[in-house]
Amino acid sequence: MHARTLTALPLLLILAGCNTAPAPAPAPEPAGAPPAPKPASSVPVPANALYVTNEREGTLTVIDLDRLEAVGSLQLGKRPRGIVSNPDRTRLYVALSGSPIAGPGVDESKLPPPDKGADGIGEVDTTTNTLVRVLRAGSDPEGVALSKDGTEAFIANEDTAQVSIVQIADGTVSQSFGVGKEPEGISVTPDGRQVWATSEDAGAVYVIDLAAKKVLTSIEVGARPRSIAFLPDGSRAYIPAENEATLTVIDAKTLRALKKIPLGEGMRPMGTAMSPDGKTLFVSTGRSKMVLLVDTATDKVVGQIEAGQRPWGIAVSPDGSTLYTANGPSNDVSIIDVATRTVKKKIPAGDGPWGVAVVNRR
């Protein structure tokens, strides 16, 4: 090779480098996609924990139930409400919504527009207490339930009057069902064959057959139903009607309402939790401050406990000895001894505690 050519070669290489096109920018996030999870701070992982969604703060409080104290919180996203654990208790699924908070009687036309990009289901790894991803879940998720095998999530989409089915593996919405307006409470029957969802607007519960992939029927249950509880054997369901102070008892096999249980004047039944043995139904009553105890053998109220300020979310320990309620206005959680029917302790949570879930790893 000639010397002149060798001399020119470095110059050509430099010029070629200068003319190299810049690397393409990463593709933008699709419009309306849920926000990507942000790194969470390190939070201890108790062996026996209570997880509390804080609607106004957008966080998840972790409470050590052996020490009876909060040990930290995770940032989740906007308006975390409904919460459920998977069968092996390694994951939590939390409904997140970008729709503004609107209480009864609020003129929604005067509220800020919803942030649809914030809608989704937050998946929390309870072995590390980190948010691992946010699943697409339809519009304005409020309630969430899981299939018996933990592979599917069922979502109450409040502002579109739908129940969506989300595949946990890939986070896709595989199917949606139209139900009554403002669906909220959502539960899977103990045999895993049906999903039930309450409609506040219709005053009814809608029954979805998962094998047939259709809505079987709706059953009237009273004004503003908020949640659903089944007996462990799946024979009966209990649905509270907040604005009627009643519980409707439904034969879950024939899908017929059997009776209404009066709860007492001024009661505002909201959340429900069934004792592990199926003998007692616990009902939170919001602004009425009480947790009611209903004997499922007689379908009568047999006791009440003053839990705190507007108890809503409610859960029971695996052995049935302790109740937990989320008290929204006072930003705390009540730890209630069932045997003595007393509040053992109130533990501070975040701003606006809404839902609770027990994760016992023992």
Q: What is the pLDDT of residues 48-85, one digit of tens each?
A: 999 999 999 999 999 999 999 999 999 999 999 999 99
Distance, CA of 243 to CA of 245 (rounded, Å): 6
Backbone angles phi, psi at 177, to 5 degrees: -125, 135
Q: Which residue has the tokens 């462990």?
A: 232
Classified as helix, coil or strand, 332 is strand
Q: What are phi and psi of 18, to 5 degrees?
A: -65, -30
Residue 30: what pLDDT?
40
**Alpha carbon distance 246, 226 (integer Å):** 12
Structure tokens at 96: 């997140």
Per domain, the residue ranges of the chain are 33-100+111-178+351-362
Which are the contacts of 266, defined by CB distance < 8 A and separation ≥ 6?
245, 288
How far apart CA 116 and CA 35 sit, in angstroms, is: 10
pLDDT digits (tens, 9 = 90+) for 279-330: 999 999 999 999 999 999 999 999 999 999 999 999 999 999 999 999 999 9
What's the pLDDT score for residue 107? 65
Q: Tell which phi-psi region holds residue 67, choosing left (phi > 0), alpha (psi between -120 and 50) or beta.
A: alpha
Q: What's the pLDDT band for 105 if we cut at 50, 70, 90?
A: low
Fold of the domain spanning 33-100+111-178+351-362: Methylamine Dehydrogenase; Chain H (2.130.10)
The token duo for 98 is 């970008």
Tell me the pLDDT of the chain averaged across its residues: 90
Q: Are the C-beta atoms of 230 and 195 separated by less than 8 Å? A: no
Q: Is residue 9 over pLDDT 60? A: no
C-alpha closest to that of 226 among 166, 286, 294 = 286
* Mean pLDDT value of segment 340-354: 98
Nearest partner of 329 among 355, 353, 356, judged by Cα: 353
- Alpha carbon 32 to chain centroid distance? 21
CA distance 70 to 53: 13
Helix and strand element counts for the chain (H, E) = 1, 28
C-alpha span between 321 and 335 (Å, rounded)? 11
More confident residue, 362 or 312: 312
